[in-house]
C-alpha cells in the first residue's frame, strides 16, 4: 500500500504539470501553460499519468456533485447558516448562475481523456516495453472515465454535448444528445473495453480510472434494460474470479469494520472499485467535510427521514454499525453527517464513485425486475451463495448484523422488495451522492410522484412541501439548468 501511495503522489505531482492550465480558461483551444502532446506521450509511465489525470480533475467537481445530489434529494437538509446558492439547490430554486452546478469540469474530464486517446497509440512506437494489452488497458481506462463523465452529465442535466471523434476541444457548434440517446452511445463506447480489470503483484485489484463493468451495468439499469443490467452488474461483482472476497460482500467489513471502507477508501480494494482521492497534507483537501462538519461550516445535516430509518431497524440499538456514531452523529442534540469525518487525517476522505455494496444493491434491483425476486431479497439480507465464486457472500444486512427483511402476504411483491432495496441503499450509501439518482431512476418506472413525494417530505413547512411536490411532479424540473 505504501508503495502505491508514493507512486500516486508522484503521478499527481506530474499531473499538476500536465493539467495545471485547466482552470476557467480550459475552453481555450491551446492553453499556454500545457505541454504539447508530442512532449508527453512517450512512455508507459506517461500513459499511466494520462489515465490518472482524468480522474484527478474530478477533485474539482466530485464534492460539489455529491453535496448537490444529496441536497436535491430527501436525506440531507440545510441549516440556518447555509449560503444562498446551496439553499437554492435544497429548495429546487436553481439558477444557471449557481456556481455549484457548472458542468464545465465534467467536460474538462472528457477533453482530457479525448486528447490522451488521440495520442496513446503513438507510445507503442516509442516505448518497447509497452504491449498491445497495455494500450488496451490505458484506452479502456480513458474511455471509462470519459463515459462516466458523460453519464453523470446526462443524469444531472438531462442531455450532454457529445464531442465526436475524440475531439480534444469544444467545437463552435455542439451536438447535444438527450439522456436516452447518450446512454446507448456510451454503451457502444464501453463494450470493447470491459476486460481491462486486472490484479497487481499482491493479487489485489489495480487502481483504475474507472471500473467499466460496474459503469455499463449502471447505464443498463438507467435504461431500464433489466436483463442486460443483471448480466453486467453480476460481471462487475465477479470481475476478479481468483478471490471470493473481492467485491463479494464477504466478512472483510463485518460489524464495526464497516466504517473502515471510508478510511483511506481508495485502498480498501475488496470493497471500493473507484474513488477520487483527497489528502489535506498533499494540498488536496476534500471540502465536503467542512460543509457537513459540526465544528466547521455545518451548512447541511441529515434529515429526519434518514435518521429515523437508521433508528427504526430491527436491532434494539438501531443500525448499530452504520448509523449513529458512524454515518451520522450528534452534538448537543444536533445531528451532523459523520461519514466524511472517519478519516484519520482531516479533510482527506475520498469520494467513492463505485463500491461493492452499491453494485450488489443495483443488481438486486435489476434481478427483482426480471422475476428473480428471491435472489434479490437474499442479496439484501444474508447473501446469495449459488453463483460461482460467491461462497463467502453474507449480504448487505448480514454484514452489519441486521435482521432479514421479508415480504408480507397480500402486497405487490416486486414493488415491495424494490422499496426495501431503495430503503437499504438510503442507509448503506447515505450521503455518498447516490440518492437523487436513485429517486429519479425508480420514478421513471413508478411515476413522478414517487420522487416528488419523498423530496417534499423533508420540508416541515407545508407550503414549501406543496410547492416542491408540484414542481417535481414535472420531470423537466429534475434537471439542472446550464448555459449552452
* Inter-residue contact 361 to 428 (CB < 8 Å): yes
Non-local CB neighbours of 440 within 8 Å, separated by 6+ positions:
155, 451, 478
DSSP 386: -
Question: Could you give the CA distance from residue 370 to residue 234 in angstroms, rounded to a whole number?
Answer: 14
* Inter-residue contact 482 to 158 (CB < 8 Å): no
List per-residue pLDDT tens for the chain, 484 residues long. Answer: 333 333 333 334 334 333 333 333 333 333 334 445 555 667 777 777 777 787 789 999 999 999 999 999 999 999 999 999 999 999 999 999 999 999 999 999 999 899 889 888 888 778 777 888 888 888 999 999 999 999 999 999 999 999 876 666 666 678 899 999 999 999 999 999 998 887 666 766 765 679 999 999 999 999 999 999 999 999 999 987 667 889 999 999 999 999 999 999 988 999 999 999 999 998 899 999 999 999 999 999 999 999 999 999 976 678 999 999 999 999 999 999 999 999 878 899 999 999 999 999 999 999 999 999 999 999 999 999 999 899 999 999 999 999 999 999 999 999 999 999 999 999 999 999 999 999 999 999 999 999 999 999 999 999 999 999 999 999 999 999 998 8
The full DSSP string for 320-362 is: TTTTBTTTEEEETTEEEE-GGG-SSSTT---EEEEEHHHHHHH
Residue 411, helix vs strand vs coil? coil
Which whole-number Å values give the CA distances from 148 to 162, 225, 364, in the listed order?
13, 18, 22
203: its cell numbers: 493479487
Question: Could you give the CA distance from residue 366 to residue 221 in angstroms, rounded to a whole number?
Answer: 7
Q: Which of 262, 266, 261, 263 is nearest to 250 (CA)?
A: 261
* Inter-residue contact 200 to 214 (CB < 8 Å): no
Q: Which of 76, 143, 65, 82 is nearest to 339 (CA)?
A: 76
Which whole-number Å values give the CA distances from 51 to 15, 113, 140, 403, 468, in the listed order?
10, 8, 9, 43, 41
Walk me through the domains of the chain, giving residue ranges and CATH numbers. Answer: 2-84+102-201+211-281+351-446 (1.25.40.390)
Q: Which of 180, 121, 178, 118 is nearest to 146 (CA)?
A: 118
* Inter-residue contact 38 to 26 (CB < 8 Å): no
Amino acid at each position: 500500500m505504501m508503495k502505491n501511495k508514493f507512486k500516486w503522489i508522484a503521478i499527481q505531482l506530474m499531473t499538476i504539470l500536465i493539467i495545471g492550465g485547466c482552470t476557467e480558461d480550459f475552453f481555450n483551444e491551446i492553453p499556454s501553460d500545457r505541454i504539447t502532446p508530442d512532449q508527453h506521450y512517450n512512455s508507459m509511465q506517461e500513459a499511466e499519468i494520462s489515465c490518472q489525470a482524468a480522474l484527478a480533475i474530478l477533485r474539482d467537481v466530485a464534492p460539489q456533485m455529491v453535496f448537490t445530489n444529496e441536497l436535491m434529494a430527501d436525506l440531507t437538509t440545510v441549516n440556518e447558516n447555509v449560503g444562498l446558492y446551496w439553499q437554492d439547490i435544497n429548495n429546487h430554486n436553481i439558477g444557471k448562475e449557481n456556481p455549484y452546478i457548472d458542468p464545465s469540469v465534467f467536460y474538462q474530464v472528457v477533453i482530457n481523456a479525448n486528447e490522451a486517446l488521440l495520442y496513446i497509440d503513438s507510445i507503442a512506437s516509442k516505448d518497447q516495453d509497452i504491449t498491445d494489452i497495455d494500450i488496451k488497458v490505458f484506452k479502456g481506462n480513458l474511455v471509462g472515465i470519459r463515459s462516466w463523465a458523460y453519464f453523470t452529465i446526462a443524469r444531472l442535466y438531462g442531455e450532454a454535448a457529445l464531442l465526436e471523434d475524440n475531439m480534444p476541444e469544444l467545437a463552435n457548434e455542439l451536438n447535444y444528445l438527450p439522456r436516452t440517446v447518450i446512454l446507448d452511445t456510451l454503451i457502444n463506447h464501453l463494450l470493447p473495453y470491459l476486460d481491462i480489470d486486472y490484479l497487481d503483484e499482491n493479487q489485489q485489484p489495480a487502481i483504475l480510472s474507472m471500473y467499466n463493468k460496474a459503469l455499463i451495468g449502471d447505464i443498463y439499469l438507467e435504461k431500464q434494460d433489466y436483463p442486460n443490467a443483471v448480466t453486467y452488474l453480476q460481471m462487475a461483482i465477479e470481475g476478479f474470479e481468483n478471490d471470493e472476497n473481492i467485491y463479494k460482500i464477504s466478512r472483510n467489513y463485518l460489524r464495526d469494520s464497516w466504517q473502515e471502507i471510508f478510511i483511506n477508501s481508495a485502498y480498501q480494494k475488496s470493497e471500493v472499485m473507484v474513488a477520487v482521492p483527497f489528502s489535506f497534507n498533499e494540498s488536496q483537501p476534500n471540502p465536503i467535510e467542512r460543509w457537513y462538519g459540526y465544528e466547521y461550516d455545518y451548512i447541511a445535516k441529515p434529515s429526519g427521514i434518514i435518521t429515523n430509518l437508521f433508528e427504526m431497524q430491527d436491532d434494539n440499538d438501531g443500525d448499530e454499525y452504520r448509523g449513529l456514531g458512524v454515518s451520522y452523529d450528534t452534538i448537543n442534540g444536533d445531528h451532523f453527517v459523520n461519514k466524511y469525518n472517519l478519516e484519520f487525517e482531516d479533510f482527506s476522505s475520498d469520494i467513492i464513485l463505485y463500491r461493492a455494496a452499491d453494485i450488489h444493491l443495483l443488481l438486486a434491483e435489476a434481478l427483482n425486475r426480471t422475476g428473480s425476486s428471491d435472489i434479490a431479497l437474499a442479496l439484501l439480507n444474508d447473501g446469495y451463495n449459488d453463483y460461482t465464486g460467491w461462497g463467502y457472500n453474507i449480504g448487505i444486512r448480514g454484514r452489519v448484523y441486521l435482521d432479514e427483511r421479508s415480504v408480507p402476504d397480500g402486497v405487490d411483491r416486486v414493488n415491495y422488495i424494490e422499496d426495501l432495496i431503495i430503503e437499504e441503499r438510503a442507509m448503506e450509501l447515505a450521503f455518498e451522492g447516490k440518492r437523487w439518482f436513485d429517486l429519479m431512476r425508480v420514478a421513471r418506472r413508478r411515476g413522478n410522484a414517487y420522487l416528488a413525494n419523498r423530496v417534499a417530505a423533508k420540508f416541515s413547512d407545508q407550503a414549501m412541501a406543496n410547492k416542491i411536490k408540484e414542481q417535481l411532479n414535472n420531470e423537466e424540473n429534475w434537471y439542472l439548468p446550464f448555459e449552452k
